[in-house]
Structures are given as structure tokens and as C-alpha cells.
Amino acid sequence: MKFFFPDSQDLIDPSFDFECERRSTTRKRQRDDLYAHEVFASTPFDGFLVSKGIVDGYGALGSRYTLAQRHRLLRLGAPEFFRLDQAPRKLSIMGDCGAFTYVKEEVPPYSVEEVLDFYGNCQFDYGLSLDHVILLFKPEADARGAARDLVPEELRERRELTLRLAEEFLKRHTKGGYAFEPVGVAQGWSPLSYANSVKALQKMGFRSIALGGMVPLKSNEIISCLEAIHEIKQAGIQLHLLGITRTEHLKTFARLGITSFDSTSPLRQAFKDDKDNYYTAARNYTAIRIPQVEGNPALQRKVSSGAVSQDLARKLEKACLEVMKLFDEGRRTVDQALAVLMEYERFYDPGSKKNHEAAYRQTLTDAPWRKCPCDVCRDLRYHVVLFRGAERNRRRGFHNIWTFYQQLEKELGLGQGSAA
């Protein structure tokens, strides 16, 4: 089973000085910053998933790429743009449309021809057909005699549109002689509707099929859909789960025919989750928040309004950074470090119900970064568990991806680079 890491231009700056909090004055992001596959000795994924919606941007969701980066991607192609020759092993690139970026539109904002050209120009290995997400799960609609109005007509039309677009995609792909492998996208609102979509895509001639729209579903709901699909799936068909991780169900997914999946969860949890920020094989830990006085909007507003003293804020912030350094050197105890950290938290977030004392005590007591063999933790040490700025947070996300991939291989009983 292969894991594709969705690209959102998440890079780290190797010149960043964590003690002085400064970058090199000569640093150029695209040239000098590093992708995750350039950081680790063993790459913690099997390929990238690159979304047209992320590259181009759509509506209120702006592009994660600059105009210059978009032009460079199309001019050089994805393998050179992502510097895949720097990866320890061969990585594949899958392209999709980014249907969640235009989910509120009546129809996709792209044409099939535009999508094909995007995939072809970027030199992807796989390309997903143009689709339209269905955000509804109504398994009761599968019951014999169920009322048709259980599923709004517009969502039924989305499924039919997705299938028509897939058929056009495959025909134009064949006629145009594109090098990438075409992947048909199945949408649905129930186990039977997903199975019917897969059945239709198989009949069209697709040998690879991606299952979309399942991100909001509970694990048992996903499994019920996969079981229905498994009953009609032809031998040799490759199935990809879009946006799904669910580590505890990987063996079940594999048994039901899933051969690949993608997810940003390990990266995003590093700085989006309130408690599960740092992964280990045994458990997840809460990262220690030390907000930057100049970089925290809420704290800056309090300083600007005169509600808190900027000088005191800086003093407490500096004390937290110093105590974490001394703790890591063995010159401060857990209780001593915790006292300083909580004084700053009570200052910048008074009256909050999100008291992190117990979670921080667990993180400090176990000090998981000292035991982690990944390249990030060995290089960054205690900085990896500091919830502070993009450079630390993103590196913690890279650590999470590495840890997740180790769990994936252990769960499936595979060796590095053989998750296929």
C-alpha cells in the first residue's frame, strides 16, 4: 500500500538559526529550502499528490504557489520542480483537480482538456479525472423501495456528471497519447452508489480508480463502502483512497483492495491540533506553546491596547526559551521548567480553559524527542516540540510524517520502500 503526501508547498529553511531566530540574508525559498524527501535519509512516503486547485488557487482559497512557482512547475515539470533526483528512492507524482476547492460551485470550473494538459505539462505519473464532490452519506438510500428524495437531485446529478467527465477524460487521454496513467474518480452517498460508480468506471476501461468524498465519513462508514466495492471490483484494479489515513484500519483497507492513499493529517496535526502535535509509535504528545510576542496576533492586540506590558511579555517569552534549553541539557527539572512555562501561559492566555499543565508535564517527563531516531529530532532536539513559528512547527510535521510511515510499514509488515 502506497502513501502519497499531498503537496502544499511545505518546505523548511535549513539556514534558520533556532537560537537567534534568524534566517540567512541570502536565502532564496525555491532554491534553498528543503522538501521533506530532502530532509530524511529514508523518504517517509511513496510519492506526492499535487492538486490543480492548490497550484492555481480558486475563489477564496488562494494558491499556495507564487506566480513564478506556477510558471516554473509547468516549464520544468514536477520531477525537476520537486527535485525528485534528491530523494533516496524513486517517488511517483499523482495529480488531482482539488475538487474540495470548488465544492460550492454547480459545476467544476475546469474543462477536461485543461486538466489533461495540466497533468501532461507537469509530467505526472498518475492523473485523476475531473470530478465533483458529494458531501452526503445516506446509506438508508440503498434499501429496497427507499424514497428517491433521500438524496437531493443535484447530488445525483453530481455523480452522473463525475462519471460523464471520467468517460470524456479517458477518451481524450487515449486520443492525446498522454504518458501518465489515467485514474477514474468515484463519488457516491452510500455503499451501493459508490460500488455502482466503480462498476461504471471499470466498464469504461479504467484500471486505477480513486474514491473521493470520504474524508467526512466515520471509519465504519468507509469500510461499509469498501466492502460493497470489493464485491464488484475486478481483479487487478488499483484503488486509491483520497484524503484518508485511519492507521488503525490499514490492514482492513488493504484486505478490501486499497492499494494507495493520501493524507495531510500527520503534518497538519503538528500545528492545527490542540493536543496531538508530536507523534510516537506509543502515543501522541502535546507540543509546548511559547508564542512569539511579535508573531502572535492575539498577544499583539493586548500589547497594542495596553492590556499587557510588552517588556514583561518579552521577558517571559525569553525565560521559557531559556528554561527549555537548560531542561534539555539536564540543568532544570520538569517542575522547574513547568513553572516558567505556565507563568507565560497564564500571562498570554489568562482565564483560558485550555490549561496545558498536565499535557506539558507528560511531554517533559517522557522527552520523546531524545528517543526518536528521525533526522529532524536528531538535528533539532527539544526545538521540535516547541509550538512556535513555521520552521519548528513544519519540522514537527515532517517528524510526524516519518513516524506515521514507520507505523504504516510495521502495520502492514513491510520493509522501507516496499509499501506497495
Cite the active site residues: 96, 262
Per-position b or e across 334-369, b if 16+ CB within 10 A of its CB: beebbebbbebbebbbeeeeeebeebbbebbeebbb
Q: What is the dihedral of CA 404, 4, 36, 359, to 10 degrees?
A: -30
Instruction: Write phi, then psi, for 322 (nearest 5 degrees).
Output: -65, -40
Is residue 367 classed as helix, strand or coil in its secondary structure?
A: coil
For residue 141, the number of C-alpha atoms closer than 13 Å in the C-beta half-sphere is 19
Q: 295 Cβ partners below 8 Å, 6+ apart?
A: 389
Q: Identify whether the C-beta of residue 158 lies closer than 8 Å to the C-beta of residue 182.
A: no
Partners of 239 in the β-ladder = 209, 258
* Terminal C-alpha separation, the chain: 4
Q: What is the dihedral of CA 54, 55, 60, 66, to 10 degrees?
A: 130
